[in-house]
Amino acid sequence: MDHKIELKFREVVKDLEEKFGEGLDVDSILLLIGVQELGQGYRKFSKDEKMNLMHIAICTILEPWGIYRFEKNDEDGWPHFEKIQSIPAINSRQQEHLMKEAIINYFVTNGLVKLSEDN
């Protein structure tokens, strides 16, 4: 795993934990991204809605890499995406690395987290 990505990811987590509390992992961060992208603010979500929020997050963070493309919001305001290409077969460690790198990119690109110049 790229050590630099891991350091940047820890910095993103630290920043988010200051705002949302300790114990954030990749899945909880994906849920936060999904809520942000849905744009309806925080509320109680059902288990199915939480799964949909995580899907929205994954599509959103992989969109810049050409994996997904935003299509439209449905009548309830939920975003829908089209899968453009498949992610090449990678192992679970590589998947985690990909998610961490995409999460970093999402927060930095959207100006939600500022990383130190050291990373």
Question: What is the 3 state secondary structure string of 25-58?
Answer: CHHHHHHHHHHHHHCCCCCCCCHHHHHHHHHHHH
The pLDDT tens digits for 33-61 are 999 999 988 889 999 999 999 999 999 99
Could you give the percent of the chain with pLDDT greater than 90? 76
Q: Which run of H or E residues covers position 68? A: strand 68-73
Number of domains observed in the structure of the chain: 1
Tell me the residue range of the domain where 87 lies: 3-109
The pLDDT tens digits for 55-90 are 999 999 999 999 999 999 999 999 999 999 988 888
Residue at 31 is within a domain: yes
Residue at 36 is within a domain: yes
Q: What is the largest CA-CA distance in the chain?
A: 44
pTM higher than 0.75 = yes
